[in-house]
Amino acid sequence: MDPHLLRTFVAVARCGSFSEAARELGYTQSAVSQHIAALESDLGAVLLRRRPVSATAVGTRLLEHAGPLLLRLDAARADIARLTAAPASRIVIGASPLAMTPQLTGTLADMRQTQPLLGVTVRVLGREAITHKVATAALDLGLVDGMAAPNDPLHLPDVGPLTALAVTEQPLAVALPAQHPLAGRTSLRLTDLADARWIDAPDTAIPLAQLRTAGGTDGYRASLRYEGTDVRGLVVLSATGHGLALLPQPTIDGIPGISAVLISAPRLIHRTEVLHSNAVDGPPALLAAALLAATQ
């Protein structure tokens, strides 16, 4: 189970073609064929059906292992490189849309005044992408938001020794169109909305899959899938009755046409965390410390 072979395997499975994967990896068709043959003989199972190429049951299972494995391997490489290399003067921050609160951007502004030469890039991404990219050093710092029980850490994929620190906890609210029958309420139980129509915006609002897990039901059906990372667009959709969305209360409060109704049960909050490789020094760690200090 050489990582090279695994890498080839995932490439072939993704491309659906030996030759295409070979091109992508800079190998010959033959080498790819030999890689797959080596893996299959090593594991004693057929991993791929050929012509057309598709993963068998065993192959599919192996893919579930291979992804995280290769990610962690890249993360380890990148982490060691980060320790070895000199600290950069440029810093790239990845943030999920709801993590971009005025509170956080404010402290970032303060930070820049003390270190004006620091080149800063902010990149808005989905939550999983941020975790992966922080681990593999494609980002210096991550700001991730999500839903959790009070004082509970977010459930982030385990991609290596990263430091996650809570920055904010805000109440959760449903974005209801102003004319919605429940719009007048001050609070609601989440389960009361299990049969409503929701907008599934996994990279922006709380993913519906998470609501189902938290509620233990298979409700929270999606009327619309929203791909992308723009909060305003989601709010506009919600205001015009396309469906509900679960968001931090301050984000939706005061927006015309929308009523923010707090979730009273189960006890869940919206949480933002800073994510970085747990180096003690360097601009990312300093900035993380500043964000943490500013919000406590």
Partner DNA sequence: CGTGATTACGGTTGACGTAATCATA
Partner DNA sequence: TATGATTACGTCAACCGTAATCACG
Q: Is 220 in the site for DNA (CB under 7 A)?
A: no
Give the H/E segment covering residue 261: strand 258-265
CB of residue 156 vs DNA: minimum separation in angstroms? Answer: 33
Cα separation, 16 vs 20, whole angstroms = 8
Which residue among 1, 10, 24, 34 contacts DNA (CB under 7 A)? 34
Phi and psi at residue 265, to the nearest 5°: -155, 145
Which residue among 110, 158, 195, 227 contacts a second copy (CB under 8 A)? 158
Q: Is 286 in the site for a second copy (CB under 8 A)?
A: no
Which is nearer to DNA, 19 or 264 (by Cβ)? Answer: 19
- Cβ–Cβ under 8 Å, residues 130 and 259: no
Which residue among 76, 118, 222, 236 contacts a second copy (CB under 8 A)? 76
The alpha carbon of residue 231 and the mean position of all alpha carbons in its chain are separated, in whole angstroms, by 15
Q: Is 70 in the site for DNA (CB under 7 A)?
A: no
Cα separation, 214 vs 194, whole angstroms = 11
Q: Is 7 in the site for DNA (CB under 7 A)?
A: no
The one segment of 63-71, 101-109, 196-204, 229-237 that binds a second copy by CB under 8 A: 63-71
Which residue among 106, 216, 228, 233 contacts a second copy (CB under 8 A)? 216
Q: Is 13 in the site for DNA (CB under 7 A)?
A: no
Cα separation, 263 vs 267, whole angstroms = 8
β 258-265/187-189 pair status: parallel
Cα separation, 148 vs 155, whole angstroms = 8
If you write DSSP's letter for every residue of 167-181 in order, what string do you get?
EEEEEEEEEEETTST
Using left for φ > 0, alpha for ψ between -120 and 50, and beta otherwise, residue 228 falls in left
Q: Is 56 in the site for DNA (CB under 7 A)?
A: no
Q: Is 35 in the site for DNA (CB under 7 A)?
A: yes
What letter does residue 217 receive in the DSSP assignment? Answer: S
The one segment of 29-37, 40-48, 168-176, 234-242 that binds a second copy by CB under 8 A: 40-48
What is the contact surface with a second copy in residues (CB under 8 A)?
1-3, 43-45, 57-58, 61-62, 64-66, 68-69, 72-73, 75-77, 79-81, 83-84, 149-153, 155, 157-158, 160-161, 213-214, 216, 266-267
What is the contact surface with DNA in residues (CB under 7 A)?
2, 4, 17-19, 26-31, 33-38, 50-53
